[in-house]
Structure 1
Amino acid sequence: IPSYRNSYKKNICVDMLREGYHKSFTELFALMERWDVLREAAKVRSIFWLQKPLEEQPEKLDHFYHYLTRAENAERKGYFEDVYNNLYALACYFNTPEDKWVRNHFYERCFKIAQLIKIDGGKKEAEAHAHMGLLYEEDGQLPEAAEHYEAFHQLTQGRIWKDETGRFLNLLACESLLRTYRLLSDKMLENKEYKQAIKILIKASEIAKEGSDKKMQGEASYYLGLAYLAAGEHETALTVLNTYSQISTDLDDDLSLGRAYEATAKVLQSRGEMEEAIKYLKKVLKIVRNNFQNLDIVRASTMLGDIYNEKGYYSKASEYFQQAFDTTRELMNMPLMDETKVHYGIAKAHQLMLTINNYIETADFTSLDYLLSWKESRSDIAPDLIAGKA
């Protein structure tokens, strides 16, 4: 049968078999079958499958043919580094959201081949662990991801290897491990497993110090400090967060310093040291206003409002809640606007209640006149001297 009567996909398969690339044909055929299964599964679930059928994508078929046959040829000769490079080229080519399952297939193939490469000191094996870590991380399998990132980190220690963009592999290993440890610790903290969370975050801090990246060290200290706060170990939390503050100051990083001060204020608030907490929150407000961080302004203002409201200083509470509310209006953030509106309304009600109670207790003609005027108009009532202080 003339080749022009066949589909492009079939011609690719026939060419592979004719030239003796039976292993490449078997792998491509299995991938094409899975492609069709995924299309059918999407139809059953009424999901709109954006991809065209594989036979309508000759460029992808060409890539499969080119790199699979080159990989098979290299494998026959025992050139495992070339096998790895060709399979990795396919993984990179299919690194799009809809094709990630193809990329993951080649990541797994690269990982197996990397174990056979003995001439590069373990660099390809390290890279393969990094790719497998990412594969598991994206799938939400964090313990498995951590295992691969730990191997990646171990293999790159003391090495000056770089990736294709010029970044040191050891630094990438540190970043990947810290990210995964933080995600694992978040789940532990949710389950109130404080000791385990602290243990893994201490490990993260030690790795961050190895990476010689001050910003990374600061981030590790921040999350460790928050874990100590959640566990109720306030003194240790303050010590660790102070380290984060110092690193942020050394780096001249205002936003990180603001985050350190906010976390410190939370610890002080938990210890009942409200005046100290207020000092730190006012520092936060100054920093975030200077840097136009509106969401941070809302959060810090709300925290200050809560403290003043709890202390019975309702005028001050209203002032900070109003700042938070006005900022959310600028942001046009409706859910946040509704939340700050409630805080502001409660503080105003407390302020009003205190003022009215003071007028009632005073019971002179001026006070009664204020009360009657307010009852008729329901507008803002002028606070007396005592109420004004609150």
Structure 2
Amino acid sequence: MTTLPPLPMARPKLTALARQKLPCSSRDIPRSQLIKEKDDIDHYLEVNFKGLSKEEVAAYRNSYKKNICVDMLRDGYHKSFTELFSLMEKWDALREAAKVRSLLWVQRPLEEQPDKLDHFYYYLTRAEAAERKEYFEDVYNNLYALACYFNNSEDKWVRNHFYERCFKIAQLIKIDGGKKEAEAHAHMGLLFEEEGQLLEAAEHYEAFHQLTQGRIWQDETGHFLNLLACESLLRTYRLLSDKMLENKEYKQAIRILIKASEIAKEGNDKKMEGEACYYLGLAHLAAGEHETALTVLNTYIKISTDLDDDLSLGRGYEATAKVLQSQGQMMEAIKYLKKVVKIARNNFQSLDFVRASTMLGDIYNEKGYYNKASEYFQQAFDMTAEIMNMLLMDETKVHYGIAKAHQMMLTVSNYIETADLTSLDCLLSWKERRSDIAPDPIIGESRRSTMEGLCQTSEHSEDLNGFPDNQKKDLNQLLTQC
């Protein structure tokens, strides 16, 4: 077979220049010439071939995250690159940790979220440029913009990072009278509050409150910063007092709630002042200081009445009923609880209705008024069934069952005590049917006489001694109704 000679191949200039730099090339080309030829290739691509530039090639070849980092370094923003690189490392570490803990973890890698990378590049570089010129307010604004952008449950740790950066920068701002510093304290207080570090949160909120006193500063939504400081302090003090009450540190809890009440008055917000009184009253109740609790709760009720706030009024009535119940003033407690039931029914507050009805049922059941107890327990149970709250339904069902059992037990006891043929027939009929047993009218009269006789016993007289005359009259009326 005849072997044909190789065909001469005409190569374009781009290929010819590229082949000269291949390792198999026998020519020793100086470095300066290589650089010149590389520039010739780039120029040829851009002018003659109309192809991609070096930047465009890199953009397609590298990940978006890498391109962002390269742009930062090329533009001279080395601090921004360092901070971004540190955040990306922490991001990956948190992803891996979450991946180990949860099979349902679906958070995307940072390189798959170009919008977030764009925000990092834009605001970090602007903040660094402003910091070089010592425009610290601009630095703060750019870092705060990043904190706001990452203010979501998935990226909250990024938000907290920039809150801390804002706090450090705010210390350097001297031209705004301390407004940025006050805002930074508010953000740090929120950070610690969300992490459950309430003492640290209270320190920052106190600084926030102190810096905003006498100022008319407003946030971006138009709310006064001083009012926000008061609300934040009250919320933190209340959480602290809850922990103190759990540990039976009543004096400390009352002391901190008194401080909260004073701050609420400074805020010139009646609703906030009322809330402070409410929790202070509950603290006095927990400490056994019933008279003081009633005084403070009466203030809360008055404020709620002035504000025409039915829901707050219902809370005040319920708390007052608990105090009166602790004092043994059952008739007064019943009056307040009936008001709570009425308010809850009118305002469609199902849980409040259930709670107040259950409390009324407990009082009547404890005093032996089983018909009334059954009535209130039944309406509590019906409401839980209506709202499909299974946990409360089970609880109220037990209360209702106990009251019904007491009610039936009383009737059966009366039949047994009567010991006549009619009573015996009723008992036998009930045992066969196992349904509700109706009291006999004659036995009902006997029961009424018995209850009236109870009023004359020494034990019942002791119960009545704690009531005013008008309450004794009401109690006697209840007894005669049975």
How far did 1:365 drift?
A: 2.8
Aligned to 1:347: 403
How far did 1:8 drift?
A: 1.4
Do residues 3 (structure 1) and 55 (structure 2) align? no
How many residues align structurally? 390
How far did 1:364 drift?
A: 2.7
User: Is the CA contact (8 Å cut-off) linking 1:17 and 1:25 kept in structure 2?
Assistant: yes
How far did 1:47 drift?
A: 4.4
Provide the rounded CA distance (Å) in 1 between the counterparts of 2:252 and 2:103: 40
Aligned to 2:452: none
Aligned to 2:76: 20
Q: Deviations over 1:54-110 (max 9, x none)?
A: 111111111111111111111111110000000000000111111111100000000
* Segment drifting more, 278-287 vs 377-386: 377-386
Q: Give the SS at the match of 2:182.
A: helix
How far did 1:294 drift?
A: 1.3
Aligned to 1:263: 319
Aligned to 1:361: 417
2:109 corresponds, among 49, 53, 57, to 53
* Segment drifting more, 286-295 vs 150-159: 286-295
Amino acid at match of 1:205: S
Aligned to 1:328: 384
User: Is the CA contact (8 Å cut-off) linking 1:325 and 1:337 kept in structure 2?
Assistant: yes
User: Is the CA contact (8 Å cut-off) linking 1:318 and 1:347 kept in structure 2?
Assistant: yes
2:347 corresponds, among 284, 291, 302, to 291
Q: Give the SS at the match of 2:155.
A: helix
Aligned to 1:234: 290
Provide the rounded CA distance (Å) in 2 between the counterparts of 1:248 and 1:194: 26
* Segment drifting more, 10-19 vs 110-119: 10-19
Q: Give the SS at the match of 1:51.
A: coil
Provide the rounded CA distance (Å) in 2 between the counterparts of 1:150 and 1:183: 15
Amino acid at match of 1:155: L
Do residues 31 (structure 1) and 83 (structure 2) align? no
Aligned to 2:192: 136
Amino acid at match of 1:156: T
Do residues 337 (structure 1) and 393 (structure 2) align? yes
Aligned to 1:274: 330
Q: Deviations over 1:293-323 (max 9, x none)?
A: 1111111110000000011111111111111
Aligned to 1:253: 309
Aligned-pair identity in percent equals 86
The 5 Å alignment of 1:7-156 reads 7-156=63-212
Aligned to 2:277: 221
Q: Give the SS at the match of 1:136.
A: helix
Provide the rounded CA distance (Å) in 1 between the counterparts of 2:391 and 2:108: 40
How far did 1:51 drift?
A: 2.3
Q: Give the SS at the match of 1:98.
A: coil
Aligned to 2:455: none
Provide the rounded CA distance (Å) in 1 between the counterparts of 2:243 and 2:386: 34
Provide the rounded CA distance (Å) in 2 between the counterparts of 1:330 and 1:56: 48
Provide the rounded CA distance (Å) in 1 between the counterparts of 2:194 and 2:170: 21
Amino acid at match of 2:394: D
User: Is the CA contact (8 Å cut-off) linking 1:355 and 1:387 kept in structure 2?
Assistant: no
User: Is the CA contact (8 Å cut-off) linking 1:54 and 1:61 kept in structure 2?
Assistant: yes
TM-score by length of 2: 0.79
Q: Which sections of structure 1, spanning at least 5 residues, go unmatched?
A: none
Q: Deviations over 1:180-234 (max 9, x none)?
A: 1111111111111111111111111111111111111111111111111111110
User: Is the CA contact (8 Å cut-off) linking 1:351 and 1:387 kept in structure 2?
Assistant: no
Q: Aligned Cα RMSD in Å?
A: 1.2
User: Is the CA contact (8 Å cut-off) linking 1:42 and 1:48 kept in structure 2?
Assistant: no
Amino acid at match of 2:265: K
The 5 Å alignment of 1:159-174 reads 159-174=215-230
Q: Give the SS at the match of 2:437.
A: coil
Provide the rounded CA distance (Å) in 2 between the counterparts of 1:320 and 1:105: 54
More relative contact order in 1 or in 2 (CA 8 Å, sep 6+)? 1
How far did 1:118 drift?
A: 0.3
Provide the rounded CA distance (Å) in 1 between the counterparts of 2:410 and 2:107: 66
How far did 1:387 drift?
A: 4.7
Which structure: larger Rg?
A: 2
Q: Give the SS at the match of 1:97.
A: coil
* Segment drifting more, 349-358 vs 360-369: 360-369
Amino acid at match of 1:308: Y
Provide the rounded CA distance (Å) in 2 between the counterparts of 1:320 and 1:72: 68
Do residues 372 (structure 1) and 431 (structure 2) align? no
Provide the rounded CA distance (Å) in 2 between the counterparts of 1:176 and 1:281: 32
Amino acid at match of 2:69: C
